[in-house]
Structure 1
Amino acid sequence: MDIKQYLDSTYLKTAEQAGISEQENEKIVAACIQEAIDERFKLIMIRPQFVKLAKQMITEQKSEVLVGTVIGFHEGTTTIEEKLNEAEQAVQDGVDELDYVVNFQAFKDGIIDLVKNEVLLGTKFGLSHHRVVKWIIETAALDGSQIIQLSSLIKNVVVAHFKETDYDKVFVKSSTGFYKTENGLPNGATIPAVKAMLENAFPLPVKASGGVKTQDDAIEMIKLGVKRIGTSSAKAIVEGKENKSDY
């Protein structure tokens, strides 16, 4: 098993969230991109404003690392029009993969047609531009039955509107890693949540993100059946070390 080919090395903090200047934050982003190149991870996941930088560095070094970015991050409540505009800019900047945050609040409020429409249009846009699409459902904001229902909804929209050969390009993804939980509860991928996603998103692939911090965590997720792992601890995972990062 080449664990590196499962890892989407991730840095999504804003300068404000990190408590540093914009210049300092961009230096961290550049260092994360370089690490992904050096370690030959599957992908580097950064915010949209850094896609051009990532693509430039990867191209200059003739690396095969993919570039991913987040859309509608992190609450998912922006309109589908705003999400598509953000995705279009990312594609123009050279992104390879688009990780949309689904409007999970609308889903919880029962506004199901809105959610179906954004999954349809967001997926259609990504696939028409030959990009991989992932839908972040924010498992920490959902109960067990909602995880099942939202995973199934995304699966059903994709199966109804796209070719079977496209299924492996549309993921259901667990978490942003930024959702604020109460009482210290996990805000990322948990075993029960990932199992529910795998069972109900099939035949779509699943990405486990948030909370995967050790090599054992990663191997357990891969054995369950996930195809990608989003983590800010990618190097520590490869080296068998534990990272205290919060994502």
Structure 2
Amino acid sequence: MENLNRTIDHTLLAPEATQTDIDRIVREAKENNFRSVMINPYWVAYAHKQLADTDVNTDTVIGFPLGANTTAIKVAEVLQAVQDGVDEIDVVMNIGEFKSGHLDAVTADLKAVIDAAHAHHKLAKVIIETALLSDEEIMQASELVANAGAEFVKTSTGFSTRGASVKDVVLMKKAVGDRIKIKASGGVHSKEEAEAMIDAGASRLGTSSGLKVMGKA
């Protein structure tokens, strides 16, 4: 696939990631012109400086990995990330509240975070953690994310029981159509897996295996 590299958010969210590890993924992202590096909030300012004058975005996670932070904390995380130079944010939906059926609360939480990002012209993705949802819930959550105003609905944190599946992406695409985009994250380890996700409807991939996807590792 042409420009496969530009679908990849080159990801390193491991808690034990060192500065040397961050330097490595930044270097790899530059060398392969990936869409972004996806890193924990602590490293945003550091990576952003290294990515100046490149086409590689600096992205981070909000309310990660559980989605159970208060709205005020999530918004504060967005504002700090903006100050540090972030380009895009990936926020975790409050999964427990969603599964409780408190959809208004979930929507309000997401809208506050998305609006904070948009106020600073930053793109927002929402992680629904498909591993913890039924097929019906995946579609319902995807619809909720679209209605909340995000640019993307995203499958997974990579920290739950599994990552993305092609079936997840098919269900999400069925729910949102072309209203918003889909990011498949977790479980993408090869070019074949990447292309299967894209064929199913994803237009962005979150993976720590970007070099393998590109056939370079």
| Structure 2 Cα separation of the partners of residues 12 and 57 of structure 1 | 18
| Structure 1 Cα separation of the partners of residues 12 and 67 of structure 2 | 18
User: Which amino acid in structure 2 is aligned with residue 94 of structure 1?
Assistant: G
Across the aligned residues of Structure 1 and Structure 2, the Cα RMSD in angstroms comes to 1.2
Q: Is the 8 A contact 2:169 2:201 kept in 1?
A: no
What is the SS of the residue equivalent to 2:30?
helix
| Structure 1 Cα separation of the partners of residues 43 and 105 of structure 2 | 29
Query: Which residue of structure 1 lines up, in the alignment, with residue 118 of structure 2?
Result: 127
What is the SS of the residue equivalent to 1:75?
coil
| Percentage of pairs with the same residue | 37
Cα 1:240–1:34 shift into 2, 3 Å: closer
Query: Which residue of structure 2 lines up, in the alignment, with residue 117 of structure 1?
Result: 108
What is the SS of the residue equivalent to 1:133?
strand
Query: Which residue of structure 2 lines up, in the alignment, with residue 150 of structure 1?
Result: 141
- Alpha-carbon deviation of 1:240? 6.5
What is the SS of the residue equivalent to 1:229?
strand
Q: Is the 8 A contact 1:73 1:101 kept in 2?
A: yes
| Structure 1 Cα separation of the partners of residues 40 and 20 of structure 2 | 14
| Structure 2 Cα separation of the partners of residues 133 and 117 of structure 1 | 15
TM-score (norm 2): 0.95
| Structure 2 Cα separation of the partners of residues 240 and 51 of structure 1 | 26
Query: Which residue of structure 2 lines up, in the alignment, with residue 53 of structure 1?
Result: 46
User: Which amino acid in structure 2 is aligned with residue 232 of structure 1?
Assistant: S
Using the TM superposition, name which of 203-212 and 147-156 deviates more: 147-156
Whether 2:158 is the aligned partner of 1:177: answer: yes
- Alpha-carbon deviation of 1:201? 2.2
| Structure 1 Cα separation of the partners of residues 148 and 3 of structure 2 | 32
Q: Is the 8 A contact 1:207 1:226 kept in 2?
A: yes
| Structure 2 Cα separation of the partners of residues 137 and 193 of structure 1 | 11
Whether 2:168 is the aligned partner of 1:188: answer: no
Query: Which residue of structure 1 lines up, in the alignment, with residue 32 of structure 2?
Result: 39
The runs of 4+ residues in structure 1 deviating greater than 6 Å are: none
Whether 2:10 is the aligned partner of 1:3: answer: no
Aligned counterpart in structure 2 of residue 63 of structure 1, from 43, 48, 54? 54
What is the SS of the residue equivalent to 1:230?
strand
Cα 1:58–1:240 shift into 2, 3 Å: closer
The gaps in structure 2 that reach 5 residues or longer are none
What is the SS of the residue equivalent to 2:60?
strand
Q: Is the 8 A contact 1:69 1:98 kept in 2?
A: yes
What is the SS of the residue equivalent to 1:239?
coil
| Structure 1 Cα separation of the partners of residues 81 and 156 of structure 2 | 20
Q: Is the 8 A contact 1:123 1:170 kept in 2?
A: no
User: Which amino acid in structure 2 is aligned with residue 55 of structure 1?
Assistant: H
The gaps in structure 1 that reach 5 residues or longer are 19-24, 159-168, 182-186, 242-247
Residue by residue over 1:40-60, the C-alpha shift from the partner in whole angstroms, topping out at 9 and shown as x without a partner, is 11100000000011111111x
Query: Which residue of structure 2 lines up, in the alignment, with residue 166 of structure 1?
Result: none
Considering only CA atoms, is the larger Rg found in Structure 1 or Structure 2?
A: 1
| Structure 2 Cα separation of the partners of residues 13 and 201 of structure 1 | 30
Q: Is the 8 A contact 1:96 1:132 kept in 2?
A: yes
Whether 2:74 is the aligned partner of 1:83: answer: yes
Residue by residue over 1:94-117, the C-alpha shift from the partner in whole angstroms, topping out at 9 and shown as x without a partner, is 000000001011100122121010
| Structure 1 Cα separation of the partners of residues 110 and 190 of structure 2 | 32
| Structure 1 Cα separation of the partners of residues 112 and 158 of structure 2 | 25
Query: Which residue of structure 2 lines up, in the alignment, with residue 21 of structure 1?
Result: none
